[in-house]
Structure 1
Amino acid sequence: RALFRYFLTNDVRVFFYHGENDLDYGLVPKLLNAIHVSVFVAIGFFYFISKEIKSKFDYCASALLFGFILLLSSKNIILVVILLSLIHFFYFSKSSHKLRLRNLIVFSLLVLLVFSYSTIKNRLAYEFQAHTKKSLSANVLEGIPKNVHFVSVKEAWQNKTFTPNDYFPGTAFRVYQFRIFTELISEYNVFFTGFGLNASYPKIEEKATQYNLYKGSDVDPGYQNKNFHNQYIQVFAELGVFGFIILIIILLINLKNAFKTKDFVHFAFAILMISLFLTESFLWRQRGVVFFTLFYCLFNSNVSKKIE
């Protein structure tokens, strides 16, 4: 689809991420969501690289799927996929048993961490206060006009008010959402009960009005209708602390069973879900809850049989 659109438009944007709407440029339509597709593709990628005996087709499929993950441009998923690929190579693959590099690698990483601590600390401090359009997580609004003010993480957490000219990069917006979550839980005293399923949206809109965030228009969406973009916060806000605890238990059981079975695809699925929930309300979308429920049940049924 992207190749066909490229020949028509000669615009390389058709190969990356998703467009501002379903008719705009992008590798997948806006409604489909590039981050969600990245997760689906990642599971396929890990299936192929984890096969003990690989054919030429397996290598080609792995390369194609990894390229697709890069083009979808979800920084969070790309980082996790690379990390999991390294874990597979050094701990799960046959070569990991032949190459006795594990202790050397761990030692080297520890040494690098010790020597680079001050550099990492300074970099994080800069990111916290910098006014930059670059972000560690995906942006929530696309097509931002020029001469807007990019809100820093510090401003997102501390500012008493904003202006319609303030634009939130992905990380800053998620910090702002966490901020209003803590305020809403305190103001409405819903720590134990939550607001109810999808009942947090009017409260988020109220906060957007209170802080004077950009509201958009009929054709240009604003910030007031966005969910928390964090599954843990979304569950806590709408189902209360007990719903949050249940979600954590579900994820821990999944991770525990992945270690038990030593099934790398199961392990990759567990880590992907834990990281994805930090930046997306994945289970509050139909494709998300269907995908998670299906694979969770498939991986965690008959765990003892898998071990045998």
Structure 2
Amino acid sequence: MGTIFTSSKNALPKSKRPVTNPKTLVFLAVAVLLTIPLNYAFGSITLILFTLYALFTAKKQDFSFSIALFMPVALFLLMAASLLWTIDFKSTLKALSKEIPLLIIPVVFCIIRLWPKQQRDTLKFYSWGMFIYALFYIARAFIKYFETGDSNVFFYHDLVTKDVNAIYVSVFMSVALFYFVAKKRKRKFDYLALLFLFVFIFLLSSKNILLTDILLTILYFLFWSPASKKAKWTFTTVFAVAIVIAGYFGKIKERVEVELKPNTEQAVKDMGTRAVTIAQAWNNETFSQNDYFNGTSFRVYQIRIFTEMMSEDPVLLTGYGLNASLNRIKEKGDEHNVYKGDETHRGYNTLNFHNQYIEIFADLGLIGFLVLMVMLGINLKNGLSNKDFVHIAFAFLMIALFLTESFLWRQRGVIFFTVLYCLFNKELYSSVIEKERS
């Protein structure tokens, strides 16, 4: 009877399962990355399409699991578990929906087969896409300049809009920049794209990202570039001098002065208020509604209230719950009487920590902090093991960025990080990663 059933089963036409097309996978992965700067709906749609395509074309033999891909999932599971102890259930539940990419993107990468060429093509098309974005932003800035005569349209948030955020765009552009920097056989258009992206990142004026990019670029030419030793040092010297000159005359100089000398005439003129020094941010018991915190002093103030919160509340291991620390930040803001905002400006007591390490510690405790550190450690270790400069640059870029931004607590940030993290740390189907980039 069993033999008859088996024979009959074999005689029936087998249902055809869609075959995974490598080009389609690359297209969808690139689409997810390139829609990040657009309206959130576009990013959600492309992510859904990428996920559905991977699921419908998945094959058992393509499945692969690794600790690296499990770590983002573990972080999401901890976020979900924080619903059990959060001090603000509604805020945690709402924030959890933005963190779903930490769960679904690693699953997608677990069930797809990834060849070295697919990885390279994804980075290539993404990088050229960012170059096109940069052209668009510059063209739009020129149009605005001719209409208003205001040169500020070429710098910082005015260049890309505050909603998209100049710091975030700097990060998106930096990965593209490193692709062109590390490309072995560069053509004229590659050099053009490299130079244009670097100038564009400079105009965005994100001090942290710009400094990281400069250091990584110098390190590449000193230790990874195939050029002669003399050419390496010549380039490094000329490059460093050019950066210093450009920084001295540019917007970067103004922004650095405001950070290091908050009581300068420029800072007071910009805000029309009294600027708070770093020492005051750490020591003053109370502030006035006219006190202005620059980026550095505000982050010092936030580190201070974080230490106060940890000493006052028994949440060391678990934190307050995903996105729930905002309630305690507000309470601390009221206690220290920081600026509470008005109809046009947000108050300091409504802003999150702007530091991913502190943010995750406050929300998810020591456990969440350790998960993040393990994930960053794996990312850096794999980059160094593979001797892949773009991967290494991405790893250091994220480590530096997390010092000044709660990147993973934003939808654009979590999608960008998780896709590239999985792309770099997915075990490639080829046993040896090809070193040459097309």
Q: TM-score, normalised by structure 2?
A: 0.59
Corresponding residue number in structure 2 for 1:53: 185
Offset, 1:287: 0.5
SS where residue 203 of structure 2 aligns? helix
Corresponding residue number in structure 2 for 1:145: 271
Q: Tell me, yes or no, if the aligned pair for 1:260 and 1:307 is still in contact at 8 Å.
A: no
1:275 aligns with 2:400: yes
Offset, 1:132: 3.3
> In the alignment, which of 250, 253, 256 is matched to residue 381 of structure 2?
256
Mark the CA change 1:101 to 1:70 in structure 2 (over 3 Å): closer, same or farther: closer
Offset, 1:306: 2.1
Corresponding residue number in structure 2 for 1:306: 433
Cα RMSD of the aligned pairs, angstroms, is 2.5
Q: TM-score, normalised by structure 1?
A: 0.83
> In the alignment, which of 209, 216, 224 is matched to residue 84 of structure 1?
216
Offset, 1:267: 0.5
Offset, 1:236: 0.2
Corresponding residue number in structure 2 for 1:162: 287
Alpha-carbon distance in structure 2 between the residues aligned to 1:185 and 1:59: 49
Mark the CA change 1:129 to 1:84 in structure 2 (over 3 Å): closer, same or farther: closer
Alpha-carbon distance in structure 2 between the residues aligned to 1:143 and 1:32: 26
Q: Tell me, yes or no, if the aligned pair for 1:129 and 1:154 is still in contact at 8 Å.
A: no
1:291 aligns with 2:416: yes
1:62 aligns with 2:187: no
Offset, 1:247: 0.3
Alpha-carbon distance in structure 1 between the residues aligned to 2:203 and 2:319: 38
Q: Tell me, yes or no, if the aligned pair for 1:156 and 1:172 is still in contact at 8 Å.
A: yes
SS where residue 159 of structure 2 aligns? coil
1:36 aligns with 2:168: yes
SS where residue 85 of structure 1 aligns? helix
Alpha-carbon distance in structure 2 between the residues aligned to 1:199 and 1:294: 26
Corresponding residue number in structure 2 for 1:111: none
Corresponding residue number in structure 1 for 2:299: 174
Unaligned runs of 5+ in 1: 19-25, 106-126
1:242-300 Cα deviation digits (max 9, x unpaired): 10011001001100011101111001000000000000000000000000000000001
Mark the CA change 1:300 to 1:8 in structure 2 (over 3 Å): closer, same or farther: same
Corresponding residue number in structure 2 for 1:192: 317
Mark the CA change 1:213 to 1:133 in structure 2 (over 3 Å): closer, same or farther: farther
1:218 aligns with 2:349: no
Mark the CA change 1:71 to 1:14 in structure 2 (over 3 Å): closer, same or farther: same
AA aligned to 1:6 is: Y
Alpha-carbon distance in structure 1 between the residues aligned to 2:232 and 2:259: 36
Identity of aligned residues (%): 54
Offset, 1:305: 3.8
Offset, 1:143: 9.2
AA aligned to 1:76 is: N
SS where residue 197 of structure 1 aligns? coil
1:93 aligns with 2:232: no
Corresponding residue number in structure 1 for 2:120: none
Q: Which has the higher helix share?
A: 2
Alpha-carbon distance in structure 2 between the residues aligned to 1:275 and 1:131: 23
Q: Tell me, yes or no, if the aligned pair for 2:156 and 2:203 is still in contact at 8 Å.
A: yes
Between 1 and 2, higher relative CO (CA 8 Å, sep ≥ 6) is seen in 2
Mark the CA change 1:43 to 1:133 in structure 2 (over 3 Å): closer, same or farther: farther
Q: Tell me, yes or no, if the aligned pair for 1:251 and 1:270 is still in contact at 8 Å.
A: yes
Number of aligned residue pairs: give it: 271
> In the alignment, which of 117, 127, 132 is matched to residue 263 of structure 2?
132
Alpha-carbon distance in structure 2 between the residues aligned to 1:31 and 1:264: 31
Q: Tell me, yes or no, if the aligned pair for 1:43 and 1:269 is still in contact at 8 Å.
A: yes
Alpha-carbon distance in structure 2 between the residues aligned to 1:251 and 1:86: 23
Offset, 1:193: 1.0
AA aligned to 1:132 is: N
Q: Tell me, yes or no, if the aligned pair for 2:262 and 2:294 is still in contact at 8 Å.
A: no
Mark the CA change 1:4 to 1:129 in structure 2 (over 3 Å): closer, same or farther: closer
Corresponding residue number in structure 1 for 2:329: 204
Unaligned runs of 5+ in 2: 1-139, 237-257
1:154-189 Cα deviation digits (max 9, x unpaired): 111111111111110101100100110111111111
Offset, 1:82: 0.4
Offset, 1:149: 1.4
1:57-80 Cα deviation digits (max 9, x unpaired): 100000110011001000111100
Q: Tell me, yes or no, if the aligned pair for 1:174 and 1:229 is still in contact at 8 Å.
A: yes
AA aligned to 1:15 is: F
AA aligned to 1:205 is: K
AA aligned to 2:333 is: A
Mark the CA change 1:131 to 1:33 in structure 2 (over 3 Å): closer, same or farther: closer
Give the greater-gyration-radius structure (CA).
Answer: 2
Alpha-carbon distance in structure 2 between the residues aligned to 1:276 and 1:192: 24
Corresponding residue number in structure 2 for 1:3: 142
AA aligned to 1:209 is: D
SS where residue 255 of structure 1 aligns? helix
